[in-house]
């Protein structure tokens, strides 16, 4: 699935553009457009900040004006931290990306617009967008870094597009222990502790049940049971068996 296009309007710092490229690459976005980057392009230090996401930087296109940068798109979402008094739909990142993924699935090209580091987008620039996206930040500290804003949008894009699989899972490396193995472990543990004089006679049953609960909560695998029984054997006096 084609990903949305990231449009940075008059970005200033090489660090932020590089980190934007890196964040895009993390979540599978690749098309970057720069509108009138301050102090020219390319910028010194931008490749270092991209930490290897140089394919995004190498493919970045520079435009003199925002209208040129969005002309071939079918919809543009503007990110902003401030209310603009413009009667547009306002989205959190997740529902915004649900709509973006649907429209991209229908063959549209969608742009995500991000403003200048210090002052964001002008009201005129926001007026060229179809809708607004804002972030659920705190009232006390709402200022998101530019590349951080891009990252959150990329993350939600990947989730909305159904591409957010994890690179590994918590699959058990050994199958869960059978109940037979667990029952045998309980018997071995309890016999060993009995012989070691661990149980006060009147409390033997309740302590044994509590320890079975603890062992159940561990969701032991076959390998875990083997390890556990090996440790028990090592702790027993010489010659004593299960």
Among positions 45, 52, 102, 230, the unique one binding its own copies when judged by CB under 8 A? 52
Q: Is there a cis peptide before residue 209, judged by omega within 30 degrees of 0?
A: no
Min dist. Cβ of residue 171 to its own copies (A): 8
Min dist. Cβ of residue 187 to its own copies (A): 24
Would you state the structure tokens that stand for residue 151, as one six-digit string?
Answer: 């990252």
Min dist. Cβ of residue 208 to its own copies (A): 26
Among positions 166, 214, 231, 234, the unique one binding its own copies when judged by CB under 8 A? 166
Q: How far apart are CA 162 and CA 149, in angstroms?
A: 20
Query: Is 53 among the residues that bind its own copies (CB under 8 A)?
Result: yes
Residue whose C-alpha is closest to residue 4's, from 163, 166, 113, 118: 113
Q: How far apart are CA 105 and CA 193, in angstroms?
A: 64
Query: Is 63 among the residues that bind its own copies (CB under 8 A)?
Result: no
Residue whose C-alpha is closest to residue 179's, from 204, 218, 227, 216: 216
Query: Is 216 among the residues that bind its own copies (CB under 8 A)?
Result: no
Query: Is 103 among the residues that bind its own copies (CB under 8 A)?
Result: no
Judged by CB under 8 A, the stretch of 66-74, 76-84, 107-115, 201-209 that binds its own copies is 76-84
Looking at the DSSP bridge assignments, the partners of residue 32 are 6
According to DSSP, the β-strands at 32-35 and 61-63 are parallel
CB of 20 or CB of 188, closer to its own copies: 20
Burial grade of 145 (CB within 10 A; 0-12, 13-18, 19 or more): middle
Interface ranges with its own copies (CB under 8 A): 15, 19, 22-23, 25-28, 51-53, 81-83, 85, 87-92, 131-132, 134-145, 147-148, 151-152, 155, 158-159, 163-170, 172-174, 221, 224
């Amino acid at each position: 699935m084609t990903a949305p296009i990231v449009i940075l309007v008059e970005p200033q710092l090489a660090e932020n553009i590089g980190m934007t490229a890196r964040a895009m690459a993390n979540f599978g976005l690749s098309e970057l457009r720069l509108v009138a980057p301050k102090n020219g392009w390319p910028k010194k230090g931008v490749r270092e900040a991209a930490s290897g996401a140089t394919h995004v930087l190498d493919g970045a296109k520079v435009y003199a004006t925002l209208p040129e940068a969005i002309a071939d798109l079918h919809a543009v979402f503007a990110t902003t931290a401030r209310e603009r008094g413009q009667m547009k739909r306002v989205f959190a990142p997740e529902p915004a990306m649900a709509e973006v993924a649907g429209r991209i699935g229908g063959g549209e090209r969608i742009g995500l617009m991000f403003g200048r580091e210090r002052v964001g987008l002008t009201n005129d620039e926001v007026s060229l967008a179809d809708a607004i996206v804002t972030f659920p930040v705190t009232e006390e500290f709402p200022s998101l870094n530019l590349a951080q804003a891009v990252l959150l949008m990329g993350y939600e894009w990947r989730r909305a597009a159904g591409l957010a699989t994890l690179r590994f899972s918590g699959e058990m490396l050994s199958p869960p222990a059978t109940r037979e193995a667990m029952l045998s472990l309980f018997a071995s543990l309890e016999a060993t502790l009995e012989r070691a004089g661990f149980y006060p006679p009147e409390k033997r049953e309740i302590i044994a049940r509590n320890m079975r609960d603890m062992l159940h909560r561990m969701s032991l695998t076959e390998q875990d049971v083997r390890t556990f029984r090996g440790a028990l054997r090592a702790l027993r006096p010489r010659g004593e068996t299960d």
